[in-house]
Structure 1
Amino acid sequence: MNLLNYQTLKDQGYDGYLLKDAPERVLQFGEGNFLRAFVDCFIDQMNEKAGFDGKVVLVQPIAPGLAKLINDQEGLYTLFLRGRENKEAVNRKRVISCVSRCLNPYEEYKAVLDCAKNPDLRFLVSNTTEAGIVFDPACKADDAPPSSFPGKLTAFLYERFKLGLPGFIILSCELIDHNGEELKKCVKQYVDLWELGEPFAKWVETENTFCSTLVDRIVTGYPRSEAADICQELGYQDNLLDTGEVFGLWVIEGPQSIKDELPFEKAKLPILVVDDHTPYKQRKVRILNGAHTSMVLGAYLAGQDIVRSCMEDPVIHGFMNKAIYDEIIPTLDLPKNELTDFAAAVTERFQNPYIDHSLLSISLNSTSKWKARVMPSLVEYVQRTGSLPKCLTFSFAAYVAFYHNGKEKGENCLVGKRGENTYEIKDDPWVLDFYYDHRNDDEADIARAVVNNERMWGPQLAALPGFEDAVAQALMRIKAVGMYQAMEECLA
């Protein structure tokens, strides 16, 4: 079977959209599954539908990476976006042709710096993981390349500055708060550390736009178990197959002038340019992530194993809907239609027939997840209404029940029981130690101990009138009638 490249597609008589030659207008730090299924997918559509006419140069951020695979396929790869839209299952295939090449800076650092000479280059994109945006004072200007991503970026910007060329629109996609701002801080630290001079510092500030962004798409990546069959059906060998969900949203915090250069709207893409991305981040965390975290631990103890099955159960699905529409959405300040539309999309995403999203995988580190994703909605609901939200309060009791089941220690986990089966509870060691120390507490005692644990929650939960008692009562109900019936009673 021939490897995917332009000649292979020509020999097949491929009649889909392809862009073989165009100016390199984007430099992308990151060549992994996510950016290829998200940013590069959008750029490919802008090329087809809005005349963007731009190629993307990828830079492999770590060694080893995918540079050779990408170059062997001339930048081409097949992307499948799969999920549900308008209550129908969809499976869309697209050959992505916006990538020109991939550079390995550990073998060809000069080629990366040479990209700075390209006057057509205007956009820098990055996704170097949450650990990528860090300032490392051991990183030196004459390293080839500098070890940290912000160090590499600073060196690249300095190369551009020395040539007297304009700066860039920089789109950071790392999963940290205010990613663009944090990246800019690191760059400025390197400017000072490396003594690159006030003129360059001013150029960084005035000639470049560092944008914080919010990215939202589940990317399932290389479909290992299906790859051979998919390639057989495609008629070519594609070692870079990529898969993700249909839903996608990119919120970019920056000036509206960005839309003059990136024709998102003309291509009808789900991309927003806003003055402040914070409300959209809050919407995602509280509705999408909050729905997951508030539902899955109770759902697991009620007998479910994957998210999609939860959506097929009227009680668990009803519990999630009540939490979202009656208790979470009232705490958010975006227009209500935007919130309900996003919530409806969340349900379709959870129903995705192509993703078996394990409840136990979501349960990892649920203590910090509940604090970040659910607690703000609960506290805000109490502040706005003066009463406790029934489902979110119960979700805390379900969290306690899930952890309190861990009566035995395993390897870096506690071991709980669901019926005749065991499951692993994984969290920070101090959290596991706390629950193990309280393994023999009754419902009232464990509720009191957890609610008043300020290391977990700060003082906020203990300060909520009636919360500790409500959690204890919910735990007693779970013990008396089982998790499923106790969840059902929340819907009354």
Structure 2
Amino acid sequence: MRLAGPDGLPDTVAGPGYTPADHGTGIVHLGLGAFHKAHQAAATDTALAAGGDWRICGVSLRSPEPAAQLGPQNGFFTLIERSAEGSRARVIGAIGQALCLGPDRAGVLAALTAPATRIVSLTVTEKGYGISRATGGVDEGHPAIAHDLATPEAPIGVAGLLVWALKARRAAGVSPFTVLCCDNLPENGRLLRGLLVDFARRTAPEMAGFIAGEVAFPSTMVDRITPAATPETLAAAEEMTGFRDEAAVETEAFSQWVIEDRFPTGRPAWEAAGAMFVADVKPYEEMKLRMLNGAHSMLAYAGFLAGHRHVSDVMQDAPLAALVRRHLAAAAATLPPLEGVDLAAYAEALAARFANPHLKHATYQIAMDGTEKLPQRLLAPAADALAAGQPLGPYAFALAAWMRYAMGTTEAGEAYALRDPREAEVQARATGASDTAEIVERLMALPGLMPPVLRNNAGLRREITARLAAMRDGGMAAAIRAEAAGLA
């Protein structure tokens, strides 16, 4: 039987600690993927036991698959948590409705403008927003931005939908919702506000000041390693629950959520799920982006090309695991002290989480969207390291690994898609020259990517070039061993 609710679950599987039908919808979430289900939906499920009308209307902006998976299951799905101690499953009931913007446009717009909707949260990935790195406003070349600037009354993208909904709510005398970005962007609330204000200036000028002054955009830091679901995930969910579940996801036992506490129209009791509410998220955000995400990007590029399918495989490769630890330490050195946080202990905990053999997090999955991820994960800490006179070797190795990955072929000559919003441009620069130094020069000059302080630094360029040459000449595995040998 298909999972459709909490009834009939075995005693070993927890269900919602509340009656879902007794709680109304208060959140619209854009980006109905695995991470949202494992993180915000799970936390909201816990919070609902404390009361409130905070169930979620989940919206996929592109693919109809999430709604097709969740719809027949009344929004219920299995969350499998993997740890060294074993695995456990719980059934989540926080998602009351699952929609896809294309076929369900009327329902999505109705949800965004409903007075009961007090929060709109988002996990659309870094590339999904259409933010210009240069200006902080709209990227006119982003397909959804270009469409919505031309047809603001029929939006398909984040900025267009949110400005349209806020305008409609204001016209109807309905309070604005709080906009809660849960993607890996620095000061994500501030960035999203800048995007919406700029979009409004261009399409609804009367809304720009209102959005800037009356709409809350709390920043957040989210952390829970969540691989894409596989057939093995679904098979495990069926074995554990006794039901077929097309929407099951698996994740690690660890979860962290740090939130700026600015919710004028209320919020769920997310603290019941361990969320921290703070005045300033930025220090936590930088810690996670530079340490966890930065090390993830480095190990993904190097690991994928060295033949490691999963992050846990990387951590079984002693030389590469040593480079992961080196990167974590280098990133920590760029951070100011954070009260109550031991950065060395945090690094050790991250290494242990990466090594979790029960979590099949693919290096190829992490490697996608590099041009959107590099600025906050690798380039910002590299610039700070340069200013502080700290070694640039860890960042040079990581950037060289990205450049080798950008060439788009394995060492056996098999082609793969970069899965990057600037894929064609990046790959053309990476493969348009046979000389390693020229490849480095061309990729460092990619418009809007590297800050000038790095782009114009001859020392960094030499360090990247030497490492990329080793990767091209002797292969990634040999380059990893040589780099790790230098740590002794």
Question: Which TM-score band (shorter chain)?
Answer: 0.7 to 0.9
Q: C-alpha separation between the residues in 2 aligned to 1:236 and 1:112? A: 29
Matched with 1:408 is: none
Which one has a larger percent strand, Structure 1 or Structure 2? Answer: 1
Cα deviation, residue 245, structure 1: 2.8
Displacement after TM superposition at 1:324 (Å): 2.0
Q: Residue 238 of structure 2: which of 231, 235, 251 is its match? A: 231
> Partners of 1:424 and 1:7 in 2: how far apart?
47
Task: Look up the equivalent residue of 1:335 and give its one-letter code.
Answer: L
Aligned residue identity for 1:269? G
Deviations for 1:328-367, whole angstroms, at most 9, x for unmatched residues? 2111114283433432332122112233444456556768
**Deviation at residue 486 of structure 1 after TM alignment:** 1.6
Whether the 8 Å contact between 2:56 and 2:95 is mirrored in structure 1 is: yes
- 1:268 CA drift (Å): 4.6
Which residue pairs with 2:120 in the alignment?
Answer: 124
- Aligned-residue offset at 1:209: 0.9
Matched letter for residue 22 of structure 1:
H
TM-score (norm 1): 0.75
The separation in 2 between residues aligned to 1:288 and 1:11, in whole angstroms, is 35
Q: Does 1:45 align with 2:46?
A: yes
Equivalent residue number for residue 57 of structure 1: 57
**Structure 2 unaligned blocks of 5 or more:** 131-143
1:106-146 Cα shifts (integer Å, max 9, x gaps): 556555555578654422223344335554222243x4xx3
Gaps of 5+ in 1: 404-411
CA drift at 1:93: 1.3
> Which residue of structure 2 aligns with residue 35 of structure 1?
36
| From 437, 440, 443, the counterpart of 1:450 | 440
Tell me how far 1:487 sits from its aligned partner.
Answer: 3.1
Identify which of 157, 164, 167 aligns with 2:166: 157
Q: Where does 1:214-229 land on structure 2 (aligned, <5 Å)?
A: 214-228=221-235
- Whole-angstrom CA distance in 2 between matches of 1:114 and 1:213: 26
Which aligned pairs between 1:148-297 and structure 2 lie closer than 5 A?
Answer: 148-185=157-194, 187-188=196-197, 198=206, 204-228=211-235, 230-253=237-260, 255=262, 261-265=267-271, 267-275=272-280, 277-295=281-299
Counterparts in 2 of 1:250 and 1:413: CA distance versus 1, 3 Å: same
Corresponding position: 1:70 with 2:62: no
Partners of 2:429 and 2:443 within 8 A in 1? no
Q: 1:344 to 1:104 in 2, by over 3 A?
A: same
Q: Is the 8 A contact 2:25 2:57 kept in 1?
A: yes
Match of 2:141 in 1: none
Offset at 1:45? 1.0
Q: Which residue among 149, 154, 173 is the counterpart of 1:137?
A: 149
Partner SS, residue 232 of structure 2: coil
TM-score (norm 2): 0.75
Other-structure match for 2:137? none
Q: What residue number does 2:462 align with?
A: 468
Q: Verify the 8 A CA contact 1:30 1:59 in the aligned structure 2.
A: yes
The answer to whether residue 353 in structure 2 is matched with residue 353 in structure 1 is no
C-alpha contact 1:52 1:262 (8 A) present in aligned 2 = yes
* SS of residue matched to 1:28: strand
In structure 1, the partner of 2:331 is 328
1:486–1:461 Cα change, 3 Å: farther
CA contact (8 A) 2:261 2:277 kept: no
| Per-residue deviation, residues 452-487 of structure 1 (Å, max 9, x unmatched) | 975155563663558727964996799699435423
- Between the aligned partners of 1:319 and 1:36, the Cα distance in structure 2 is 32
| Aligned-CA RMSD value | 4.3
CA 1:370–1:59 in structure 2 vs 1: closer, same or farther (change >3 Å)? Answer: closer
Distance 2:33 2:376 in 1: 27
Report the Cα distance in structure 1 between the residues aligned to 2:114 and 2:213, rounded to whole angstroms. Answer: 20
Deviations 1:306-343 (A, max 9, x none): 42123234333223223322x22111114283433432
Contact 1:394 1:471 in 2 (8 A): no
Cross-structure match for 1:339 = 343
- The answer to whether 1:309 aligns with 2:318 is no
Pairs aligned (count)? 460
1:486 corresponds to: 482
2:233·2:249 contact (CA, 8 Å) conserved in 1? no
CA contact (8 A) 2:4 2:73 kept: yes
Q: Deviations over 1:259-317 (max 9, x none)?
A: 9744333x151444443x44333323321232234445555676755421232343332
Structure 1 pair 459–425 and aligned structure 2 pair: CA distance change class (3 A): farther
